[in-house]
């Protein structure tokens, strides 16, 4: 087998390595040291600057901002190190880079500086708008701090801040991208025209998705409902399990989970905002003394509101509001009372139970519908009752003979 290294000039290789190879290795080693130092110290230095300049209110935000800025610096620094290494290594292999170096230096001195300024301004503008958006959103929902849980408020702030921050970031970086493309000498006119047409097409195709996000933003900003509320939206009632910018998730009493796009929500009915209400009708018989029945109902409501178990759940004791209806079987009495959110159903169940027991003890009748069916024209005569005859004829008098109910006439 022929030796492939037979024709190599080992003396030339030794001469090159003794003259240029050492500098090549030194260049690679210096580049590696700079890269490792850039990766190791950039984040710490940036975090220290951000912390000392008080650019972020909390330590978590300081670290987040330091990570973002250090990541950008690391990318740019790595690119500079690679370019410098290439220009330092190529002459060791006999490549003349004088003309290329001058051209690149001139380009970097003009367009490169402008691109760096554009990137730096974009980063700074993004960070400023990010913190401004967070503070504005937090200020818009802070008024509900006394009524809503701190975790829910923070979730609303984070959701809105993230959405608005991403929107602003896309706008800023798209503007920066077009400016950089212009600095590279490319014609951005056709690109802008194509982007406009694509934007229109995407807008028509994703209009429902855009509508969902816009509706969700207003739901969260206006705090129409939140996690843990019982609401009715899109003709579906249930417990809110999650609210995002795109959809609302409800769980109804049967345990069924409903996912509703926010764009489909026209009217939102919140059953548990700030307080809930006992709204109950109790029926008593026509023969009962209404004043006595109302007195019993009010007494039961007050007794229930004074008990330790129910006192913390009841805001105002359930009391009679009015005689609500004269029904077919009884008289409806309306009862109202305010409760803590989500407690009205348990209180109404307990109130029904206590009213049934109290009515039984007081001998107050809770009526139910009665239906009596009679066959024939004559009403039955009960024991000790006179026969009831209709006083008003049911049909005009006629000279034709009356057909008894138990007889039939054969057709001719």
What are 185-198's pLDDT values in tens digits?
777 777 677 767 77
Cβ-based neighbour number of residue 212 at 10 Å: 22
- Whether the pLDDT of residue 384 is over 50: the answer is no
Q: What is the mean pLDDT of the chain?
A: 77
Which of residues 18 and 315 earns the better pLDDT score? 315
**Whole-number CA gyration radius for the chain:** 42
Tokens describing residue 25? 């290795």
At 78 the pLDDT is: 83
Domain at 276-362, CATH from 3.30.70.100, 1.20.1050.10, 3.40.50.300, 3.90.1150.10? 3.30.70.100
- Whether the pLDDT of residue 282 is over 80: the answer is yes
At 19 the pLDDT is: 61
pTM, to two decimals: 0.53
CB 158 within 8 A of CB 138: no
Domains 223-270 and 276-362 share a fold: no
The full DSSP string for 153-214 is HHHHHHHHHHHHHHHHHHHHHHHHHHHHHHHTT---HHHHHHHHHHHHHHHHHTHHHHHHHH
- Whether the pLDDT of residue 395 is over 70: the answer is no
Mean pLDDT confidence for 381-391: 48
CATH placement of domain 223-270: 2.30.30.60
| Contacts with 363 (C-beta within 8 Å, 6 or more apart), sequence order | none
At 256 the pLDDT is: 93
Share above pLDDT 70 across residues of the chain, in percent, rounded to a whole number: 72
Which of residues 151 and 3 earns the better pLDDT score? 151
d(CA 35, CA 160): 38
d(CA 181, CA 191): 10
Burial class (CB in 10 A: 0-12, 13-18, 19+), 66: buried
CB 56 within 8 A of CB 50: yes
Our CA angle for 148, 219, 143, nearest 5°, is 35
- Whether the pLDDT of residue 333 is over 90: the answer is yes
Secondary structure, 3-state, 6-36 = CCCCHHHHHHHHHHHHHHHHHHHHHHHHHHH
43 confidence band (pLDDT: 50, 70, 90) = confident
**What are the domain boundaries of the chain?**
16-203, 223-270, 276-362
CB 312 within 8 A of CB 341: no
What are 229-279's pLDDT values in tens digits?
899 998 999 999 888 888 899 999 899 999 999 999 999 999 988 889 999
Mean pLDDT confidence for 37-57: 78
């Amino acid at each position: 087998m022929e030796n492939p290294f037979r024709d190599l000039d080992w003396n030339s290789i030794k001469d090159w390595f003794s003259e240029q190879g050492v500098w090549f290795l030194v260049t690679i080693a210096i580049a590696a040291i700079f890269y490792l130092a850039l990766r190791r110290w950039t984040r710490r230095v940036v975090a220290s600057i951000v912390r000392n300049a008080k650019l972020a209110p909390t330590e978590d935000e300081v670290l987040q901002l330091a990570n973002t800025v250090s990541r950008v610096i690391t990318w740019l620094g790595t690119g500079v190190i690679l370019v410098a290494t290439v220009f330092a290594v190529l002459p060791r292999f006999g490549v003349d880079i004088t003309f290329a170096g001058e051209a690149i230096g001139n380009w970097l001195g003009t367009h490169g500086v402008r691109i760096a300024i554009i990137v730096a301004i974009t980063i700074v503008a993004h960070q400023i708008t990010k913190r401004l958006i967070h503070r504005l959103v937090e200020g818009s929902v802070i008024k509900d701090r006394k009524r809503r849980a701190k975790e829910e408020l923070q979730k609303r702030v984070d959701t809105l801040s993230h959405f608005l921050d991403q929107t602003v970031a896309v706008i800023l970086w798209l503007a920066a991208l077009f400016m950089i493309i212009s600095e590279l000498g490319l014609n951005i006119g056709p690109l802008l025209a194509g982007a406009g047409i694509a934007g229109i097409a995407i807008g028509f195709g994703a209009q429902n998705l855009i509508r969902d996000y816009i509706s969700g933003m207003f739901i969260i900003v206006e705090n129409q409902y939140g996690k843990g509320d019982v609401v009715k939206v899109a003709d579906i009632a249930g417990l809110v399990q999650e609210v995002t910018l795109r959809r609302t998730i409800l769980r109804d009493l049967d345990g069924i989970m409903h996912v509703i796009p926010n764009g489909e929500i026209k009217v939102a009915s919140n059953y548990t905002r700030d307080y809930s209400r006992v709204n109950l009708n109790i029926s008593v018989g026509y023969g009962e003394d209404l004043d006595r029945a109302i007195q019993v109902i009010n007494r039961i409501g007050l007794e229930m509101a004074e008990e330790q178990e129910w006192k913390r759940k009841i805001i105002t004791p359930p009391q009679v509001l009015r005689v609500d209806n004269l029904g077919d079987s009884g008289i409806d009495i309306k009862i109202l009372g305010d409760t803590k959110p989500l407690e009205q159903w348990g209180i109404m169940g307990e109130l029904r139970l206590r009213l049934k027991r109290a009515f039984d003890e007081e001998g107050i009748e809770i009526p139910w519908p009665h239906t009596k069916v009679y066959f024939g024209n004559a009403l039955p005569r009960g024991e000790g009752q006179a026969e009831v005859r209709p006083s008003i004829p049911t049909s005009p008098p006629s000279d034709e003979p009356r057909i008894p109910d138990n007889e039939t006439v054969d057709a001719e």
